[in-house]
């Protein structure tokens, strides 16, 4: 089994070999490491994308808007992902962002996960019928059952979720009341045994 370090390094070198800068290649290496760590087919999708990229053009999305529609070609998941991550602070206020024809969207997903950590909010990433819940770059929940290549998302969307508790105030109060059982009531014996409470002065 390949180590995560090997996966990251080889992915970075392969990215440089297909024409990306070392800076972008380093980000790709981190992303593929993350996908494989979470059991998602990062390497499969990266190989397929790089093979297709030799013959097919992809559009580099530099400025991300609320609605992103292609001009001619599918969006490149790597450059589009870099742009999304770089602009995340200003994009947060939009609530939801949509992409038309996003190529190899699983390669875009790690950028969304990292963005979740930067803004401190969960993000919902939808790729047609597939959904991914990104939790502060710590975990990924998905309904993607088939671990395979996704060559295009006809419609991809990112929703910014407001932070909220999964429980009611009533439930919290009930739990807190139970926790009070561990509180130790101050007794006279404890007061006497506390620091500085002795009657004997040894100085």
Q: What value does the mean pLDDT of the chain take? A: 90
Contacts of 106 (CB under 8 A, 6+ apart): 35, 40, 41, 42, 45, 77, 149, 150
Q: Which domain holds residue 155?
A: 4-160
Q: Is residue 66 part of a domain?
A: yes
Q: Cα torsion for 154, 10, 122, 93, to the nearest 10°?
A: -70
Kindly calculate the radius of gyration of the chain based on its CA atoms and give it in whole angstroms: 25
**Alpha helix (H) residue ranges in 54-161:** 77-86, 88-91, 109-119
Q: Is residue 192 part of a domain?
A: no
Q: Is residue 193 part of a domain?
A: no
Residue 188 has pLDDT above 90, yes or no: no
Q: Is residue 185 part of a domain?
A: no
Query: What pLDDT band is residue 200 in, cutting at 50, 70 and 90?
Result: low
Tens digit of pLDDT for each residue in 161-187? 988 888 899 999 999 999 988 876 655
Tens digit of pLDDT for each residue in 74-86? 999 999 999 999 9
In eight-state DSSP terms, residue 61 is: -
Q: Is residue 70 part of a domain?
A: yes
If one counts the domains in the chain, the total is 1
């Amino acid at each position: 089994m390949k180590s995560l370090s090997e996966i990251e390094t080889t992915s970075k070198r392969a990215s440089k070999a297909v024409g990306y800068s070392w800076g972008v290649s380093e980000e790709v290496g981190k992303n593929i490491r993350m996908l494989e760590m979470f059991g998602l087919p990062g390497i499969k999708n990266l190989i397929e994308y790089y093979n297709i990229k030799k013959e097919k053009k992809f559009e580099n999305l530099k400025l991300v808007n609320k609605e992103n529609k292609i001009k001619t070609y599918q969006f490149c998941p790597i450059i589009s992902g870099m742009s999304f991550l770089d602009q995340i602070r200003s994009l947060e206020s939009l609530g939801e962002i949509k992409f038309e024809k996003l190529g190899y969207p699983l390669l875009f997903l790690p950028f969304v996960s990292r963005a979740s950590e930067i803004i401190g909010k969960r993000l919902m990433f939808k790729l047609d019928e597939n959904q991914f819940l990104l939790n502060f770059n710590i975990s990924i929940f998905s309904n993607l059952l088939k671990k395979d290549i996704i060559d295009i998302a006809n419609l991809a969307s990112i929703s910014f979720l407001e932070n909220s508790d999964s429980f009611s105030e009533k439930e919290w109060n009930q739990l807190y009341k139970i926790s009070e059982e561990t509180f130790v009531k101050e007794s006279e014996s404890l007061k006497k045994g506390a620091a500085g409470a002795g009657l004997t002065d040894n100085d």
